[in-house]
Amino acid sequence: MSYSPPPAYPTTPQPVPPPGSPKRRNTFGLVALILAIVAFVGAFIPFFNYVAGLIALVALVLGIIALFIKGRGRGTAIAGLIIGFIALLVAIVLAIVYTFVFFGNLATSIGSGSGSGSSGTGIDGSTRQISLIYQVGGTGSDVSVSYTTYADGISATQQQTGQTLPFEQEYTVGTGGAATYNSYTLTATNGAVDGDVTCRIILDGTVVAEQTSTGSYSTASCTASGTAILPK
């Protein structure tokens, strides 16, 4: 007795699932990417990098929001986050560097433009600058010092009391140009204790006036004026 297989029944074909529909554009991610690129470029521009840092922060926020939007592409959001983070770091570092450089140059300019004794800043705007030193030495104590500088029509007087010796104050003054007549006066008065005081006016390394006085409350006075005292 032979066995015959059961008849085959027709099978119903399974439906093929439709291909997945493409994800829609992620607007937040695209905006984040554009802002991140702008921030990265602006981070290298002095002082604009402060604004670039804020733009990078906005790009980071938009990029994070774009990652959580369903059904939208994430490529632009991820790229915006990466570039925005790098732009933020660059903006912060360069902002610090540019700030230090700017204020360092500003302090140097102010220092070179202000007239102070020991720094040797120019008193007038003449064509050539030379050194002017007011100097007081000796064995006196509690000395009072007064010095007046007249250069190119500008006069300045300073007084200092209770000084210990030696005393020295340095400036730079102009020669040439409009500085055709200069005058320098230095007076040193000793205190109550016996001793001597010697005043000196030194121009460009040359002593142009010197005087010594001895005794308590003694006064030494030095004066140099005219055009002949100006080194050529």
**Which tokens is 56 given?**
């990078």
Architecture, CATH, for domain 128-226: Sandwich (2.60)
Q: What is the pTM of this model?
A: 0.42
Assign 66 a pLDDT band (cuts: 50, 70, 90). confident
Beta-strand pair 143-151/182-189: antiparallel
Q: How big is the chain, counted in residues?
A: 232
Q: Which H or E run contains 170?
A: strand 167-175
The dihedral region occupied by 216, where left means phi > 0, alpha psi between -120 and 50, and beta the remainder, is: beta
**Which tokens is 50 given?**
């402060």
Q: Give me the DSSP letters along 89-101.
A: HHHHHHHHHHHHH
**Which tokens is 144 given?**
């009072």
Sheet holding 167-175, edge to edge: 167-175, 128-138, 196-203, 206-214
Domain segments of the chain as ranges: 27-113, 128-226
Q: What is the DSSP letter of 176?
A: B
**Cis status of the peptide bond prior to 46, with omega within 30 of 0:** no
**pLDDT (tens digit per residue) in 43-59:** 888 878 888 889 999 99
Whether the predicted pLDDT of 34 surpasses 90: yes
Say which range, 21-25, 116-120, 139-143, 186-190, has the weakest mean pLDDT: 116-120
**pLDDT (tens digit per residue) in 75-88:** 888 998 999 899 89
